[in-house]
Each structure stands twice: as structure tokens, then as C-alpha cells.
Amino acid sequence: MAQFLLDHHVLFGNGASTSILITQPRKISAISLAERVAWERGETVGSTVGYHVRLQRKASAKTKLLFCTTGILLRLLHGNPYVAIARQPLLLSAQ
């Protein structure tokens, strides 16, 4: 679903400002889904599609779809509570 939302934003010219964060309950699911979505899009993990789990991060400044664990999301918001306001990310949870 996340990649369809990204494609929609790109189609209507909002792709550059779109940042979609998808939470997963487990580390392995975040990594596996990032790899699957990147494969479906014909990309490598770390470009438009990335992941961030404990002690591992494969993302870049170009990353638009970021799969992460809920712990990483909490750390991100705790470290900078204004990130949700400034970047206006779309949060999707698989729980």
C-alpha cells in the first residue's frame, strides 16, 4: 500500500516532499518488506526504499519509503519531537 501512495504523490508532483514511514513489529519483517518492495519497484534497498532497525540502517537522503521498527520510531520522535511536524510524514503501521 505504501508504494501505491508514493506513486500517487509522484504522479501529482508531490514526490519530492513525500516521506512515508512504515512501522513493523519485528526487525526481520522490516528488512524483508523493504527488500520485497524494492524488488517490486526494480530498485535496490537504500535508494527510494530503505529500512532502519536496531543497529542496522540502509537508507539515503533519497529514501521515500522507510520501513522501521516501532522502537526506532519512538527514538526518532523522542530525539526530535518536531520531526513529525516539520516533515509531515505519513505513518503506516502493520500491527
Q: What percent of the chain has pLDDT over 70?
A: 83
The confidence score (pLDDT) of residue 82 equals 65
Strands (DSSP E) along the chain, which ranges? 20-24, 49-53, 56-58, 65-69, 90-93
Q: What is the pLDDT of residues 78-88, one digit of tens each?
A: 777 666 555 55
Specify the pTM.
0.80
CA distances, 55 to each of 3, 9, 16, 86 (Å): 25, 31, 28, 25
User: Please, which pLDDT band fits residue 17 given cuts at 50, 70 and 90?
Assistant: confident
Return the residue matching grid coordinates 522490516.
30
pLDDT band at 8 (very low <50, low <70, confident <90, very high): confident
d(CA 17, CA 42): 22
Q: What is the pLDDT of residue 29?
A: 94
- Rounded to whole angstroms, the Cα distance separating 52 from 21 reads 10
Q: Residue written as cell 502493520? A: 94
Q: Is the dihedral of CA 1, 16, 58, 53 positive or negative?
A: negative
Higher local confidence (pLDDT), 29 or 74: 29
Q: What confidence category does residue 36 fall into, taking pLDDT thresholds of 50, 70 and 90?
A: very high
